[in-house]
């Protein structure tokens, strides 16, 4: 797959899996995934599966108001990598 290709999926769960697995496969299943405990199960289940392949996974919990604070996400990030798309 190249950056010029478009991939159609059957829905959001498949798209989430493709994004996560594609990103980490392209980097040899190394790196660090930061997500939240209130993500869709498709994200959390794939994060747990990636963790079994030694991908570092940090799951950030929401604060008392039910919102994930940007500072909590920033604190969970590691300075070695940043993949934002």
| pLDDT tens profile 2-36 | 678 888 999 999 999 999 999 999 889 988 999 99
User: Tens digits of per-residue pLDDT, 70-83?
Assistant: 999 999 998 766 55
Q: How many CA atoms lie within 13 A of 14 on its CB side?
A: 5
Are 77 and 31 in contact by the 8 Å Cβ rule? The answer is no
CA distance 3 to 69: 31
- Helical spans, DSSP H, in 1-85: 12-26, 41-51, 70-76
The whole model's pTM is what?
0.82
């Amino acid at each position: 797959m190249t950056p010029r290709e478009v991939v159609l999926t059957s829905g959001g769960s498949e798209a989430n899996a493709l994004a996560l697995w594609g990103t980490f496969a392209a980097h040899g299943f190394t790196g660090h995934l930061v997500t939240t405990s209130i993500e869709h199960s498709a994200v959390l289940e794939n994060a747990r599966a990636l963790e079994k392949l030694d991908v570092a996974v940090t799951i950030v919990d929401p604060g008392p108001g039910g919102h994930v604070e940007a500072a909590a996400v920033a604190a969970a990030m590691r300075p070695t990598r940043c993949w934002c798309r």
